[in-house]
Amino acid sequence: MSSPLRLGIAGLGTVGVGLVRIIQRNADLLALRAGRPIEITAVCARSRTRNRGVDISGYAWEDDPVTLVRRDDVDLVVELMGGENGPAKALTEAAIAAGKDVVTANKALLAMHGLDLARAAEEAGVALRFEAAVAGGIPVIKALSEGLAGNRISCVKGVMNGTCNYILTRMEDAGLPYETVFEEANQLGYLEADPTLDVGGIDAAHKLTLLSAIAFGVQPDFDAITTTGIERISIEDIRAAADLRLRIKLLGVARLSGRGLEQSMSPCLVPADSPLGQLKGGTNMVVIEGDAIEQVILRGPGAGEGPTASAVIGDIIDIARGLRLPVFGQPVATLQPAVSARATAAKPWYLRMTLLDKPGALAKVAEALGNAGVSINRMRQYGHEDTRAPVVIITHKTTRDAIDHAASLALATGVLVGEPVAMAIEAD
């Protein structure tokens, strides 16, 4: 058997501890599958004295991540600190410069700096792998870059943030308002230190950035994704969707059209009996459409110690086997800037508006929609709140531009309380 692959792990949080557990527990199995032993030689984290529930006494300790990288007994650096800049970026750049392979779970780092890091890794002849950065334990990066490499991908979509999916399904199952479930998720430790990363759709948009780069051979461009969070989803939206046999999901969609690459991360409605509609709790799902495979659905745990650490160890084993792949599935020089396109495909839309309860208000809204070219398919009114009348409208198929125009015209009538909530209805 070959010489051991020696790891330096930076970051001993949930995922880092999970990785240590797997390596300690399954050392013999990993050696058989990798063709060589996989050993941890050094670690780095914020606190040396914290009780993490695993024995790290046999590993060298470094206070500085860059010093960890420069150790002679570290062949591969595992970056599990997180953050798009700061120590994580410094460590990754230092590892590549030192000619050492890197495995990371850091979607923000790669979404914002992936092109430069990929170029540097290619020039240095080292691997930069990031399976754990997207959808936790689901091997979607490997699926796109290896198993489905013979396909021209036309669409990648899915639920990529388990926290948002937990909040939305919990609201429906328990009949609780958003604010209550948000606080519950926070108490359970499901939310990032900055909750906006989760509920604002930013975390999921980072992931979609990486999937788009591999699927469509484009340069990763986070700013090209239209991102809307779930903060404005109310229990009334949840109930109205259920009445219509639909469910609300924070859905990422990257679709290649004749005009370019459409990319969005936003709340959408999907059929309740569809695979996406049946997705509960923190589970993730990615749907891939290609010219040869038609459609592939990947489903699994989107976060957590075991699933994410499992994805990390999968990358480590590939590197131990000698597998070297371009970071985004093809040489950096061939990645093209994406031609961004606004979604033009016509689809039904859900509109929730709160009207002033006075004569002629609904007629004015209907006229505004008609003037924007938006046709009403169904309409429901859900009781009254003092002087307010909530109304839900389902449109016939129309475009995002028409919906935006209709919303602005409706606001201009002066009969609305607050801005309309608009969500596309996506076929699964």
Give catalytic residue positions.
Answer: 207
**339 by DSSP, 3-state: which?**
coil
Alpha-carbon distance 113 to 355, whole Å? 45
In eight-state DSSP terms, residue 21 is H
d(CA 408, CA 410): 5
Nearest to 192 by CA among 184, 203, 183, 208: 203
| Residue 300 contacts residue 310 (beta carbons within 8 Å) | no
Number of Cβ within 10 Å of residue 68's Cβ equals 25
Contact (Cβ atoms closer than 8 angstroms) between residue 201 and residue 230: yes
